[in-house]
Every structure is written in structure tokens, then in C-alpha cells.
Homo-oligomer: A and B are copies of this chain.
Amino acid sequence: MTSALLTDRYELTMLDAGLRDGTALRRSVFEVFTRRLPAGRRYGIVAGTGRFLEQLSRFRFGDDELAWLAEADVVGSETLDWLADYRFTGDIQGYREGEVFFPNSPLLVVESSFAEAVLLETLALSVFNYDSAVASAAARMVSAADGRPLAEMGSRRTGEWSAVAAARAAFIAGFGATSNMEAGRLWGVPTMGTAAHAFTLLHDSEEDAFRSQVDALGPGTTLLIDTYDIPKAVETAVRVAGPELGSVRIDSGDLPQLVAEVRAQLDSLGATGTRITVTNDLDEFTIAALRAAPVDSYGVGTSVVTGSGHPAASMVFKLVAHHDADGRWVSVGKKSAEKATVGGRKFPVRARRGGIASAEIVRVGSQEVGASERTLLVPLVTGGEIDPRWLGPEGVLAARSHREAAVGELPPAAFSLGRGEAIIPTRYEVV
């Protein structure tokens, strides 16, 4: 399916007017950044890069799209001809997927004709705003879980294709698995899940249901124990599966107390190796509150796929420089009060002290990288060619690993769940 109509109409009308007066062919630089983190957050995690690049490779106006644009009278016939040949031929640099970001970090830098770049605004922002919102929330859950594994189970709480993106973003942020099958197939995210309450209810008894599941999936499976009475279910589970029962799952109730009781009962039945997983409307705060409880793993739904209160990452896509009529670069920025933009092409680095991040430095007009600094932009697309390192399941694994390294550079206070400002300042250095 083409991604070419996942755009706002104004991108096409700007293109149309700009092709008529020639300005659309001016070489231009657009940047993606956010002006602020969600209230209280210390850092964000970039996600969506690999998805954006795959959508970019499908950004083509075929006969159907052109016929519809003509019928809807959106643009003139010369613009339709131009769209028929559309291929992005410019350069895109960006933060690596999985990188940490802060207010005004230039996450994506798109350089091409205005015409080629302006069409990508909505697609780029849809992908980065959603995926980064999920990854940023997920990273907080990962640090709250303090080493215990997390699974993403929120597909049902977001649009059906956003669900696939959310599973991928949460995995990049450090979750270990997802319930979402398409994320397994497309992006190589490990999948998990065994049974819902419906499976127990379908059977004539809980014991029948457990036996059926153990027959099909083996004693290492996870049995759901809160359909009826939890202590009875634990007894039945261990009787049916034996003490080698893999896990039990609790999806309701007062978790800290329940988990302790279930642990004690499992141990008393000899099922000392049986793990406990909990899945009841968790977020980073309730995960942290379970640190003292004998929980072995968490399943997180709504809160991770909706960005834990912040379902969009507030990123914008702004023109920062363009050629004038004589081919000289002009820096530009919107002047209206609360949305002012710093013009000019940016070269961001992360300054570090003793290996710990100390500042986000955004240089304008200089590509200098100091000895203790780390450069943040990598080439994603060069002359229209997408770098294959960032694509597919391999790109996801690379992003997950980069996230671990980048988060590892943050000062410990970054992981506080209390409200605070960005953990390091963003400073402009304009040469």
C-alpha cells in the first residue's frame, strides 16, 4: 500500500503553488524536533526511524492516487505529472533510532528541494510522534521494572496498525516481548501469550481449561489464575501442570498483597520455580510500586501504547533554511511569539563528563565535535538511497542496542519518576 496519501492536503497545495512560481525547486532544509518534553519527563527516546524509512520507500503516486487527486481537484495537471515521477532524491540525516533526545534536539534533518521534502511532513511526524511517545513511556517502565522483564500487551488499546508500531517501539525501549503477531512477523519482536479468561470460561471447569492448555503448550506455559478463586486456581494449576509449571498470571486485584500470597502458596506446593506475571493496568508508577513484591515479570497494555498520558511526542517539522533565487542559503524561522524557531542547519552533539551526558549542544554553522562529545546525526538517506542498516528486524535490533548504550550515559536522576525538567540542558552555539 502506498504511503503517498498519508499526507495533509496543504502539502499538495503548497507544492502546486510552489511549482507554478518556481520556489518549490529551491534547495531546502527541514528539521524535526520537539519544543518540550511532556510535563515532568527527563528525556525522550527516538523511535520510528526504520518505519519512516520503509514508508518513504513506498511513497509513490500511482495511477489510482493521481486519478483521485485529479478528481478531487487538489492540484493542477502539471503538478500531477510531477507527482507521477516523485522519488525522494535528497539527503536525510537523523538521530539513531533508540537515541535519547531532549527539547530542540534536531532529530531528523531533511535536505532536498522544497517540493520533495514538504510532502513528507505528515508522514514523518505521524511516525516519529507516535513511535517516540511509546518508546519514551516504555523506557520509564523499563527503568521502573529494575531488571525484571516486561511484555507489551496493548494492541487492543490503539489503532490496529499503531499497535504494530507500539510493539516495535516498546521493544526498542527495552521491553522483552509483545503479544502482537504482526510485530513478530514484520519486525522480529519476540511474541508471547497463552490464554485469556474466555478460555477458562469456555470449559466446563477451570481444571479442564488448565489441562487443555498444558496438553497443548506443555507444563512450562503460563496459566491465568484469576477467573474464579485465586487460591483454588493455584492449587489446580500445580496439580495439573506439576511443580514444573512455568508461570501463573494475575490480571486483577490488589497486586502487592495477591502476589505475596500466590508466591507463598506456590512455594508451599513445591512450585518454587514457577514465576508470577502480573498484567493489571500497569504503568511506570504501579510497576515501581511492585518492586518489593515477588513479581517475576510484567505485562503492560494501555499505558505503554498510549504513551502513559502523552500519546504524541509534540514533534514538529520545520523549514530552517533554503536557497534564495541566486542559490545562496538563507536561514529562516517563524517569528510568532511562542513558536519561534532557530533558523539554519544544526549539528548536534552530546557533551559528556566522565562518560555521563552533561549537555545537548546544537551547533549552527559548525560541524565541530569535541573530544568528549558524541556526534548525534547519522546518514539515513543519501541521494535518495536509504541506508539498509536501519531497516527491518536488523534495524530494530540495532536501535534496541543503541538505546541501551544511550540511556546508559544518562545521570541517575534521569530515572526518577518524580516530575522534573530535562535531565541535561540543550544549548545552541551559533557560529
A interface residues (Cβ-Cβ under 8 A, vs B):
1, 3, 5-14, 16-18, 20-21, 23-24, 26, 28, 30, 55, 65, 68-69, 72, 74, 76, 114, 118, 121-123, 125-127, 129-131, 153, 155-165, 179-182, 184-185, 191-199, 201-204, 208, 212-213, 215-217, 226-230, 251-253, 302, 305-306, 311-312, 317-319, 322, 324-325, 332-339
Whole-angstrom distance between the Cβ of A228 and the nearest chain B Cβ:
5
Complex: A311 Cα to B208 Cα, angstroms: 38
Q: What are 25 residue pairs bridging A and B, where the CB atoms are less than 8 Å apart in the complex?
A: A5-B182, A6-B163, A6-B182, A8-B156, A9-B181, A10-B195, A11-B196, A13-B216, A20-B212, A26-B202, A68-B184, A74-B191, A122-B179, A123-B160, A126-B155, A126-B157, A126-B163, A158-B159, A158-B162, A159-B162, A161-B161, A201-B334, A202-B319, A252-B337, A253-B338
When the two chains form their complex, are residues A192 and B26 in contact, meaning their CB atoms are under 8 A apart?
no
Q: A17-B215, A202-B18 are in contact. Are A5 and B312 (CB under 8 A)?
A: no
Most buried by B among A5, A18, A160, A164: A160
Question: A127: nearest residue on chain B (CB-CB)?
Answer: B160
Stoichiometry (number of copies): 2
Q: A17-B215, A127-B160, A160-B3 are in contact. Are A201 and B9 (CB under 8 A)?
A: no
> 7 tightest A-B contacts by CB?
A159-B162, A10-B193, A125-B156, A17-B216, A9-B193, A126-B160, A8-B179
Whole-angstrom distance between the Cβ of A236 and the nearest chain B Cβ:
15
Whole-angstrom distance between the Cβ of A258 and the nearest chain B Cβ:
10
When the two chains form their complex, are residues B156 and A114 in contact, meaning their CB atoms are under 8 A apart?
no
When the two chains form their complex, are residues B212 and A179 in contact, meaning their CB atoms are under 8 A apart?
no
Whole-angstrom distance between the Cβ of A10 and the nearest chain B Cβ:
3
Contacts of A203 on B, CB cut-off 8 Å?
Answer: 23
Whole-angstrom distance between the Cβ of A194 and the nearest chain B Cβ:
5
When the two chains form their complex, are residues A202 and B334 in contact, meaning their CB atoms are under 8 A apart?
no
Contacts of A126 on B, CB cut-off 8 Å?
Answer: 155-160, 163
Contacts of A118 on B, CB cut-off 8 Å?
Answer: 196, 198
Contacts of A114 on B, CB cut-off 8 Å?
Answer: 198, 202
Question: A20: nearest residue on chain B (CB-CB)?
Answer: B216
Most buried by B among A216, A251, A318, A325: A216
Contacts of A72 on B, CB cut-off 8 Å?
Answer: 184-185, 191
When the two chains form their complex, are residues B14 and A198 in contact, meaning their CB atoms are under 8 A apart?
yes
Q: A122-B155, A129-B156 are in contact. Are A201 and B14 (CB under 8 A)?
A: no
When the two chains form their complex, are residues A156 and B191 in contact, meaning their CB atoms are under 8 A apart?
no
